Amino acid sequence: MEKIMTEIATSISEFKKNPNEEVRRAGKKAFAVLTNNKPSFYVLSPDLYDELMERIWELEMAQTLTQRLSEHSESVKVDIKNL
């Protein structure tokens, strides 16, 4: 048996009957669609997908910014009173 990576699962038969209803029932959680009690694929709601993409973008940007900061080791001291 394969490990199911979600808290929620549904059968392929139930999913095929009404995919939108299965997504609605899961709310903001991802779920597995099972075929013969094994995960065939995972489903995300549009809202959850957007959140995931935003987090991935933030991680990529953080990595890019960290890299750029390390490449430019020169810094300029600024006194807040002079701004």
- Residue at 2 is within a domain: no
- Residue at 66 is within a domain: yes
**Rounded-to-integer distance, Cα 82 and Cα 19, Å:** 61
Tens of pLDDT, residues 6-16: 999 999 999 99
- Domain span at residue 64 reads 8-71
Residues 6+ apart with CB under 8 A from 1: 37, 38
Taking Cα atoms as reference points, which of 51, 57, 31 lies closest to residue 42?
31
- Residue at 81 is within a domain: no
- Residue at 38 is within a domain: yes
Provide the mean pLDDT of the chain: 91
Domain count along the chain: 1
Strand order in the sheet with 31-35: 8-11, 31-35, 38-43
What integer pLDDT is reported at residue 73 of this predicted model?
Answer: 67
DSSP 66: H
For the chain, residues with pLDDT lower than 70 are 1, 73
Q: Is the model's pTM score more than 0.75?
A: no
**Residue 24 maps to which CATH number?**
3.40.1620
What integer pLDDT is reported at residue 79 of this predicted model?
Answer: 86
